């Protein structure tokens, strides 16, 4: 149950930027970023009904969403974008390859170039940073507000120095930890699929995510969410312990896992230390 009191608590900090995963995984992804009165989704891989139901838990109507930004064209990220536009007239913002791969109407879609700043409001912008992912022109998004940044990174087989530079020192980082290496290689998938998942164009393993995070977290990094865990080849406790092993004492903030059924929690970015301590990781479920 979504607590009304929790939403009221959140609204007290209306000028912070917040990140809430409506759900992540191979059966659908969508992340809500709120900043003041503005609300955008990164990805919409759910049916219209699922999106409506997940937002309702936060007392938000789909018509309140200002835009849907897409990372890439795979169905679990962009498969529900067109229905959301048709049903609630929500604009879609994505790059050209994603738009054409999803057969979106180009004239109704705002097309960005990778690394072009997407300004949503006066002090709320998102930067699309390219990441390697097979057959897709995939991007991570780094959202910024009031001098602080939060990132949503998913579906990448490896990282680039460019991505590391943009994530360095972000206050919040949501990033995929898709598979445990041993579970994948000892599991039932055919070897061609195992190779594809673990290739440069596939997904990050828990260890790769941990190694990458060790390169980008700073003392400014307050929260990490691990996303898009494979239900077959991973488990929350394995993902968390693998990543924390690599982070060692580099990170002392809040680390959580987003699974397929959300929303479960919200992270705020751009607050003072005292405010963050009082609201960090508000749980949406009563």
Instruction: List interacting residues with Zn ion (CB under 5 A).
Output: 74, 76, 155
Give the shortest CB-102-to-Zn ion separation in angstroms: 13
Taking the CB of residue 85, how many other CB atoms lie within 10 A of it? 18
Give the shortest CB-200-to-Zn ion separation in angstroms: 13
Nearer to Zn ion, 160 or 218 (CB): 160
Nearer to Zn ion, 74 or 222 (CB): 74
Q: Which residues are 144's β-sheet partners?
A: 125, 149
Token reading at 142 = 């780094």
Give the shortest CB-25-to-Zn ion separation in angstroms: 8
Contact 21, 281 (CB under 8 A): no
Q: How far apart are CA 11 and CA 202, in angstroms?
A: 38
Nearer to Zn ion, 74 or 267 (CB): 74
Give the shortest CB-84-to-Zn ion separation in angstroms: 18
Give the shortest CB-155-to-Zn ion separation in angstroms: 4
* Contacting residues for 201 by C-beta, under 8 A, at least 6 apart: 132, 133, 134, 135, 157
Nearer to Zn ion, 32 or 131 (CB): 131
Nearer to Zn ion, 26 or 146 (CB): 26
Taking the CB of residue 117, how many other CB atoms lie within 10 A of it? 11
Where does residue 70 rank: exposed (0-12), middle (13-18), buried (19+ CB within 10 A)?
buried
Cα 172 from chain centre? 10
Nearer to Zn ion, 3 or 100 (CB): 100
Give the shortest CB-6-to-Zn ion separation in angstroms: 29
Give the shortest CB-147-to-Zn ion separation in angstroms: 31
Nearer to Zn ion, 74 or 246 (CB): 74
Taking the CB of residue 97, how many other CB atoms lie within 10 A of it? 16
The radius of gyration computed from the CA coordinates of the chain, to the nearest angstrom, equals: 18
Cα 261 from chain centre? 14
Interior angle at CA 187, CA 184 and CA 188, nearest 5? 125
């Amino acid at each position: 149950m979504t607590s009304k009191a929790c939403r009221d608590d959140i609204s007290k900090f209306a000028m912070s930027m917040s990140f809430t995963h409506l759900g992540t995984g191979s059966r659908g992804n969508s992340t809500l970023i709120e900043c003041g009165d503005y609300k955008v989704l990164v990805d919409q891989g759910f049916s219209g009904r699922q999106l409506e139901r997940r937002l309702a838990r936060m007392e938000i109507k789909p018509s309140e969403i200002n835009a849907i930004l897409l990372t890439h064209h795979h169905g679990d990220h962009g498969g529900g974008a067109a229905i959301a536009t048709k049903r609630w007239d929500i604009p879609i913002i994505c790059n050209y390859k994603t738009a054409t791969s999803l057969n979106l109407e180009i004239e109704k879609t705002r097309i960005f170039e990778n690394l072009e700043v997407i300004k949503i409001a006066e002090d709320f912008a998102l930067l699309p940073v390219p990441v390697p992912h097979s057959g897709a022109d995939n991007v991570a998004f780094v959202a910024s507000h009031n001098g602080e940044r939060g990132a949503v990174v998913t579906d990448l087989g490896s990282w680039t120095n460019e991505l590391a530079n943009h994530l360095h020192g972000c206050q919040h980082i949501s990033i995929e930890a898709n598979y445990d290496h041993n579970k994948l290689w000892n599991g039932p998938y055919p070897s061609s699929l195992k190779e594809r998942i673990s290739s440069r164009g596939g997904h990050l393993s828990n260890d790769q995510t941990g190694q990458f995070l060790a390169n980008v977290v700073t003392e400014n990094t307050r929260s990490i969410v691990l996303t898009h865990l494979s239900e077959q080849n991973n488990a929350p406790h394995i993902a968390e312990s693998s990543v924390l092993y690599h982070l060692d004492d580099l990170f002392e903030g809040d680390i959580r896992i987003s699974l397929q059924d959300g929303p479960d929690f919200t992270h705020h970015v751009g607050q003072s230390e005292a405010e963050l301590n009082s609201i960090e990781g508000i749980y949406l479920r009563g």
